[in-house]
Structure 1
Amino acid sequence: MAGGVVIDGGKEGKDYPGKLTVHVFLTCLLAAAGGLIFGYDIGISGGVTSMPMFLERFFPSVYRKQLADSGTNQYCKFNSAKLTMFTSSLYLAALVASVVASFVTRKLGRRRSMFFGGLLFCAGAILNAAAQNVAMLIIGRILLGFGIGFANQSVPVFLSEMAPYKHRGALNMMFQLTITIGILIANLLNYRFAKIEHYGWRLSLGGAIVPALIILVGSLILPETPNSLIERGKVEEAKQKLIKIRGVDNVDTELQDLIAASEASKKVEHPWRSLLNRQYRPPLTFSIAIPMFQQLTGINVIMFYAPVLFKTIGFGDDASLISAVITGGVNVIATLVSIYGVDKWGRRSLFLQGGLQMLVFQILVTIFIGWKFGVTGNAVDLPK
């Protein structure tokens, strides 16, 4: 599924007392809304870059290729250095921001990291909606990337620390769910706004303000996690918070384990260097390889450029956008199934099932595009 891989501790470890309270569920639901900003951007950008009015204003060379005859190489119609900079600048900024965000999340708390993410994303959305030239678009995208870097770093950590042991997998998956919902909402808005002449693209890009405000306001009213409070020496406050979110008074065992883990982490003089020790190599390898290969499958590219891909293979403007809506809807449904089964069937089962489906269907996508355009990118007349 697009957006990333959520990894948690699985079913190993102590079975701490506690239950899924309404307070925790609503808290995690609000925090998980941080995924909306990432999902919205994935869905909105591909649709906007397929809108003729947007391309004509900012990327006229690409727009002229869209008007070219059918003999034009279909693989190169969106080949533009400026367009590439517009789309990729967000992800480069998110990469840089994630390094800073890890420090902010650890030292200042999860809420502040979410606050900075929402603030930066809001600023980027406003700048993109008001853009008069490509430079403003790229600067706006960079601000959006900074916001995503902070949100993607802090929200999964917040969810893992707030979730009760038995429901940690499902609540962690809520972040992925909001990413897919954000994609679907963006696809729906693109379909609607594409019909508005001259400024429909501004509404699509400016719509990112809504999810940004949700996480911005949410960060102001969300509680801090017990883990974060312990890290900053507020043990008694952490205990009271743990009692509230677990819904039981007997939290001493979990509290002591959290304190012990925090103290042990502070004793590590060189944490990054320690990761290279032999005992940490297997988990380090998997924690890097799983999300890396998930990204390298190209699924985010398919979700990001869904309208462009559909348009390239011959769909009309409206048809390409509505096809992207269908793709986003399937993504949401698949995530709901995963939330239901992650704690019931196990992480490994879903991981193998998802990997097999991606393998099969990406091969089919390659076959269909190759059948239509071959290796040259020129349309082939298919048998009737």
Structure 2
Amino acid sequence: MPEPQSSSPEPAARDAHSHAATLKRLEKSSGSLAAQAITRMDETLPWYRAMPPENRSWIGLVAQAGIAAFTEWFRHPDTPQAISTDVFGTAPRELTRAITLRQTVEMVRTTIEVMESAIDEVAAPGDESVLREALLVYAREIAFATAQVYAQAAEARGAWDARLESLVVNAVLSGEADEGAVSRAAALGWNSPDHVCVVLGTAPEGDSELTVEAIRRAARHAKLQVLTGVLGNRLVVIAGGSDNPLAVAKSLIGPYAAGAVVAGPVVPDLLAATRSAQAAAAGLKACFAWQDAPRPVLADDLLPERAIAGDPSAREQLVEEIYRPLEEAGSALLETLSVYLEQASSLEGAARMLFVHPNTVRYRLRRVTDVTGWSPSDVRSAFTLRIALILGRLAGGDPQT
């Protein structure tokens, strides 16, 4: 036998029945409420008046959809509905780029205020408190729906930006940077700083997005512009805004994993950043040969290790910046430096071999420092000078080298 039906209607049906008059009046006044909301926006929101007509019309449709969705929601308060689809689905996706989240909140607040001010006129006698309470609950739901729409748009934009940034970083690292890479960087907010350098190191294990965000936080604190990404096991940072690459590396070193961190030389722009990236990559490859290397370390401080490891740019730099200037300064400087290094950095020993006074040797070594920027009395600099002399002799002795 069928179960006996209750003499009283279900709660939802009872509510819909008891507020039928209010619902009917709400349906009838929805158009005028939407028009009032648009008028209020035009009067109180300067950004709305400044918008092009097309965007204003879309906002009008959103307001109408919001009031219509409230009417339907009031009809079936216990039925779950996708408010974001009902309200914001009427507008194109581009609208989330045309108006900000703050402006959307102001638009929703204005529409809710218009509806709230009309409660006494719209509600049937005795239903004022019911309609007001329903509007408060609906306002909460529409606020969550607004946040969801903008969160989804931000996630989509963030994913696209991450792919775009990865393309730029990879182009710089692979030597394929061109005007297209510059345009992509500009779309990411890169405003072409005068000084650019590349910092390379090992990426930490775990979520690469957290690592990238940590780099951005450190860059904001150091007032630097950065383009960054994790490529394989390497964390790459293209930094702009400082002419001191070592200071840049020190300010960004926190998110890097243990191991060497190498800063390439400063270059004038993003197109030239490939040169800095290649120097940093060669330095990272050769850094393990210098066991006492500081962290971080400049790629230029690793010139001898890079040259021995086969980096042609390091070899050329050592010859052009050390050997050639010494050669042009006169044979006495080259001869004195060579003898001094061969005599285990002994002034007296070099003086005896050269048949000159030790003060003469001392003077010539100071000239070497002035010409090259490397001091023969420093152990590390002496090693660099020795490698430069070897490479210079090889280049001078064999024209094909």
Higher Cα Rg: structure 1 or 2? 2
More strand by share: 2
**Shared fold (TM-score, shorter chain, > 0.5):** no
More helix by share: 1
- Quick one: higher RCO (CA 8 Å, sep 6+), 1 or 2? 1
